[in-house]
Amino acid sequence: MLNKKVEQILNVQVEKEGYSSNLYLAMASWAETMGYEGISNWMHAQAEEEREHMLKLIGYINERGGKAVIPAFDQPPGEYKSVKAMFEQVLEHEQYVSKLINDIVEVCEQEKDYTTNNWIQWFVTEQIEEEASANNILDKLNMLGDGPLYMFDRDIMNMRGEHEE
């Protein structure tokens, strides 16, 4: 049976991952309206990944005898100052998610839930990749400065392979 405190914090994370998915979908939509097809595809792929993270949590909670709660989500921002500002927000958001995952590890340790602690390590590793991926893109954008993003938009999907499986 899933420890109540662990169940609670995992359910909080269901909302966080679902919100992440919607946030990246909002970014995908914005990029689409700006004519950045590659960036939009990257964000769509990212939104799908976040949805999978949410489903993974829901599956685990229910499988362990808990009850997953499907929450309402806040509306993500629909406007971004620039592509760079948007990716800065991605990095900031992923750093925030990493902190949340670490908090889950802490609760697992406090509650001596070694099973969930072991299971959540997948997310710990995933967060290293997510932060690295956003950092990598920001490095490229910083190199480009204020230049045109045509090539960047064309090549961004290839950058997914560098850090994700």
**What are the residues binding ligand FEO (CB under 6 A)?**
17, 20, 50, 53, 94, 97, 130
Q: Which is nearer to ligand FEO, 48 or 111 (CB)?
A: 48
* Shortest distance in whole angstroms from residue 16 CB to ligand FEO: 8
Q: Which is nearer to ligand FEO, 7 or 17 (CB)?
A: 17
How far apart (Å, rounded) are the C-alpha atoms in residues 43 and 23?
9
**Structure tokens, 101:** 């995952």
Q: Which is nearer to ligand FEO, 128 or 151 (CB)?
A: 128
How far apart (Å, rounded) are the C-alpha atoms in residues 42 and 51?
14
* Shortest distance in whole angstroms from residue 163 CB to ligand FEO: 12
Q: Which is nearer to ligand FEO, 21 or 117 (CB)?
A: 21
Report angle CA 15, 17, 19 to the nearest 5 degrees.
65
* Shortest distance in whole angstroms from residue 110 CB to ligand FEO: 23
**Structure tokens, 100:** 């949340």
**Structure tokens, 10:** 């995992």
* Shortest distance in whole angstroms from residue 150 CB to ligand FEO: 27
Report angle CA 23, 26, 32 to the nearest 5 degrees.
145
* Residue 24, C-beta contacts closer than 8 angstroms, at least 6 positions apart: 43, 44, 46, 47, 50, 90
